[in-house]
Amino acid sequence: MRAEALLDTRSSLDIQAVSKSYRVDGKPREILRDIRFTVEPGELVSVIGASGCGKSTLLRLIIGLDTDYEGDILLDGRSIDGPTADRGIVFQEPRLFPWLSVEQNIALGLDSSGASPAEVKRIVTEHIEIVRLNGFARAYPHQLSGGMAQRAAIARALVSRPKILLLDEPLGALDSQTRAYMQDELLEIWRREKITIVMVTHDIEEAVYLSDKIVVMEPEPGRVCGIVSIDAPHPRRRGTSKFSALKDRVLSVLVRTQSAASAGLVRSHPAAQGGIARRYG
């Protein structure tokens, strides 16, 4: 009964032939070209790719901050139209309001939920513990390290229990110990809440450790050049040969595109695109 109810709350995401251009000096500059992939309900998908290949832009489109694009983005089969409560995002920068304390910032995530002040207090305190910011509830953002601020931002996105969570390099600013802890915490939240997660990262190991599926992108303009499925069960052990093999597979997709791009040989990868089309088209 409970499992079924939870199953219903999971969201699927369909990115269908999405292209996006920005106007720079009056001329359109193509940022994303024909992006297609699917995120199944409850999946954890990583998007990986060189800096500037449009990963953050893609998340902006999915969250609904920018509606000026071609193609379709479907959430549970419906076209998205602006931000809603069932999608949460952690931006690449923490973006905490500097004039609010940590707990006030996190409580903003519940502002539209209609929760009572007592509930808000309880949920915020609970999440401060989850992101290991105990003792910093009353601190102001300028008193936090970059990693702590990013953890507060994660809590702010989590409190409203979104069905789909978008994460833009959320662990990039953390030291390796906290990072490993947060990765496990993220897995725990993902499992417990049965949410769908799309996470941008530039860390192959992180992607392999966490994801069901890794979308590999290449730059100029941003395209999907390969999708690697990771079928290994959790918890995954980083040192194993299987883990290394998976890392190598992702790396080979990345390197292939990079060497091709630097040699100026090809601009797109028909094989990779074809592969995706077969699977998701």
Ligand X SMILES: Nc1ncnc2c1ncn2[C@@H]1O[C@H](COP(=O)(O)OP(=O)(O)O)[C@@H](O)[C@H]1O
Binding partner of residue 201 among other proteins, ligand X, Mg ion, none, CB cut-off 5 to 8 Å per kind: none
Q: Tell the residue number behind the tokens 């999915």, with chain if given.
A: 62
Residues in 205-224 that interact with other proteins by CB under 8 A: none
Binding partner of residue 140 among ligand X, other proteins, Mg ion, none, CB cut-off 5 to 8 Å per kind: other proteins
Is 63 a binding residue for other proteins by CB under 8 A? The answer is yes
Task: Kindly state the smallest distance separating residue 103's Cβ from ligand X, in Å.
Answer: 30
Is 56 a binding residue for other proteins by CB under 8 A? The answer is no
Is 86 a binding residue for other proteins by CB under 8 A? The answer is no
Is 146 a binding residue for other proteins by CB under 8 A? The answer is no
3-state secondary structure the chain: CHHHHHHHHCCCEEEEEEEEEEEECCEEEEEEEEEEEEECCCCEEEEEECCCCCHHHHHHHHHCCCCCCEEEEEECCEECCCCCCCEEEECCCCCCCCCCCHHHHHHHHHHHHCCCHHHHHHHHHHHHHHCCCCCCCCCCHHHCCHHHHHHHHHHHHHCCCCCEEEEECCCCCCCHHHHHHHHHHHHHHHHHHCCEEEEEECCHHHHHHHCCEEEEEECCCEEEEEEEECCCCCCCCCCCHHHHHHHHHHHHHHHHHHHHHHCCCCCCCHHHHHHHHHHHC
Binding ligand X by CB under 6 A: which of 7, 28, 52, 248?
52
Is 21 a binding residue for Mg ion by CB under 5 A? The answer is no
Is 249 a binding residue for ligand X by CB under 6 A? The answer is no
Binding mask 57-96 for ligand X (x = CB under 6 A): x---------------------------------------
Binding partner of residue 85 among other proteins, ligand X, Mg ion, none, CB cut-off 5 to 8 Å per kind: other proteins
Task: Kindly state the smallest distance separating residue 219's Cβ from other proteins, in Å.
Answer: 23
C-beta of 43 vs 169, nearer to Mg ion: 169
Binding ligand X by CB under 6 A: which of 39, 48, 53, 107?
53
Q: Using CB under 6 A as the criterion, which residues of the chain lie in contact with ligand X when the complex forms?
A: 22, 24, 31, 51-57
